[in-house]
Structure 1
Amino acid sequence: MQGALVTDKLKDGQESEAKKTPQPTEPLVKVIAFIATLGGLLFGYDTGVIAGALLFMKHDLHLTSVTTGMVTSFLILGSAIGAICAGRVADRFGRKKIILVMALIFMLGSLGCALAPNVVLMIIFRFILGLAVGGAAAIVPIYIAEIVPSNRRWQFVTLQELMIVSGQLIAYTSNAAINEVWGGETTWRWMLGVACVPAVILWVGMLFLPDTPRWYAMHGRYREARDVLERTRKAGKVEKELSEIRSSMSSKSEKHSRRQKTISVWMKRLVALGIGVAMLQQLSGVNTIMFYAPTMLQATGLSTNASLMATIANGVISVIMTFVGIMLLSRFGRRPLLLTGQIGCTCTLLAIGLVTWLMPETVNGHPDAVRSYLVLGGMLIFLCFQQGALSPVTWLLLSEMFPMRIRGMANGVSVFAMQMTNFSIAFMFPIMLESIGLTWSFFTFAAIGVAGGIFAVIFAPETQGKTLEQIEKHFKKHLQDDPAPEQAGV
Structure 2
Amino acid sequence: MVTIGGGTLPESGDSGTDEKIYPGTITNSIKRECSHLLLNVFVEMTEGFIASAGVEKDRAEQYQGKVTTYVIIACIVAAVGGSIFGYDIGISGGVTSMDAFLEKFFPTVYEKKRQTRENNYCKFNDQGIAAFTSSLYLSGLVATLFASSVTRNYGRRISIICGGISFLVGAVLNAAAVNFAMLLSGRIMFGVGIGFGNQAIPLYLSEMAPTHLRGGLNMMFQLATTLGIFSANMINYGTSKFDQWGWRLSLGLAAAPALLMTVGGIFLPETPNSLIEQGSREKGRKVLERIRGTQHVDAEFEDMIDASEMANSIKHPFRNIFEKRNRPQLVMAICMPMFQILTGINSILFYAPVLFQSMGFKGNASLYASALTGAVLTLSTLVSIATVDKLGRRVLLIAGGIQMIVCQVTVGIVLGLKFGDDQELSKGYSIAVVVVICLFVAAFGWSWGPLGWTVPSEIFPLETRSAGQSITVAVNLFFTFIIAQSFLSLLCGLKFGLFLFFAGWIIVMTVFVYILLPETKGVPIEEMVLMWHRHWFWKKIISESP
TM-score by length of 2: 0.80
The count of aligned residue pairs is 470
8 Å contact kept, 2:239–2:250: yes
By relative contact order (CA 8 Å, sep 6+), the higher-ranking structure is 1
> Among residues 502, 510, 525, which one is paired with 1:468 in the alignment?
525
Aligned-partner Cα distance in 2 for 1:95–1:389: 26
Aligned-partner Cα distance in 1 for 2:463–2:536: 17
1:101 aligns with 2:112: no
Aligned-partner Cα distance in 1 for 2:342–2:401: 10
1:265 aligns with 2:324: yes
Aligned-partner Cα distance in 1 for 2:135–2:424: 36
Report the CA distance shift for 1:110/1:349 in structure 2 as closer, same or farther (over 3 A). Answer: same
8 Å contact kept, 1:60–1:185: no
Report the CA distance shift for 1:88/1:260 in structure 2 as closer, same or farther (over 3 A). Answer: closer
Partner of 1:27: 69
Structure 1: which 4+ aligned runs deviate by more than 6 Å?
476-481, 485-488
What aligned pairs does 1:166-185 form with structure 2 within 5 A after superposition? 166-180=227-241, 183-185=242-244
Aligned-partner Cα distance in 1 for 2:428–2:279: 63
1:396 aligns with 2:457: no
Aligned-partner Cα distance in 2 for 1:99–1:142: 11
Aligned-partner Cα distance in 1 for 2:434–2:317: 54
Partner of 1:60: 104
Q: Any idea what the Cα deviations from partners look like across 1:74-104, whole Å, max 9, x if unmatched?
A: 1221222232321232111110011111110
Specify the SS of the correspondent of 1:402: coil
1:451 aligns with 2:508: yes
Aligned-partner Cα distance in 2 for 1:415–1:360: 37
| Equivalent position amino acid for 1:140 in 2 | I
Aligned-partner Cα distance in 2 for 1:428–1:383: 21
Offset of residue 240 of structure 1:
2.1
Specify the SS of the correspondent of 2:521: coil
8 Å contact kept, 1:342–1:453: yes
Identity %: 25
Partner of 2:252: 193
Aligned-partner Cα distance in 2 for 1:393–1:367: 34
1:218 aligns with 2:260: no
8 Å contact kept, 2:518–2:531: no
Partner of 2:343: 284
Aligned-partner Cα distance in 2 for 1:195–1:11: 46
- Structure 2 unaligned runs (5+)? 7-20, 26-61, 110-125
Offset of residue 236 of structure 1:
4.5
Aligned-partner Cα distance in 2 for 1:480–1:310: 44
| Equivalent position amino acid for 1:68 in 2 | I
Larger Rg, first or second structure (1 or 2): 2
Deviates more, 1:442-451 or 1:404-413: 442-451
Q: Any idea what the Cα deviations from partners look like across 1:134-161, whole Å, max 9, x if unmatched?
A: 3211210101111222222112100111
Specify the SS of the correspondent of 2:447: helix
CA-based RMSD of the aligned residues comes to 2.9
8 Å contact kept, 2:317–2:463: no
8 Å contact kept, 2:400–2:446: yes
Partner of 2:23: 12
Report the CA distance shift for 1:461/1:261 in structure 2 as closer, same or farther (over 3 A). Answer: closer
Partner of 2:499: 442
Aligned-partner Cα distance in 2 for 1:149–1:33: 11
Deviates more, 1:82-91 or 1:106-115: 82-91
Specify the SS of the correspondent of 1:55: coil
Offset of residue 387 of structure 1:
0.4
8 Å contact kept, 2:217–2:385: no
Specify the SS of the correspondent of 1:211: coil
Aligned-partner Cα distance in 2 for 1:133–1:33: 18
Report the CA distance shift for 1:156/1:259 in structure 2 as closer, same or farther (over 3 A). Answer: closer
Offset of residue 416 of structure 1:
0.6
1:298 aligns with 2:357: yes
| Equivalent position amino acid for 2:288 in 1 | L
Specify the SS of the correspondent of 2:219: helix
| Equivalent position amino acid for 1:12 in 2 | P
Report the CA distance shift for 1:387/1:120 in structure 2 as closer, same or farther (over 3 A). Answer: same
Partner of 2:486: 428
| Equivalent position amino acid for 2:512 in 1 | F
Offset of residue 477 of structure 1:
7.9
* Bigger fraction of residues in helix: 1
Q: Any idea what the Cα deviations from partners look like across 1:345-403, whole Å, max 9, x if unmatched?
A: 1221111000101124599x865222222221121010111001111222211221011
8 Å contact kept, 1:91–1:406: no
Partner of 1:91: 152
- Structure 1 unaligned runs (5+)? 15-19
Partner of 1:145: 206
Aligned-partner Cα distance in 1 for 2:297–2:314: 28
Offset of residue 170 of structure 1:
0.4
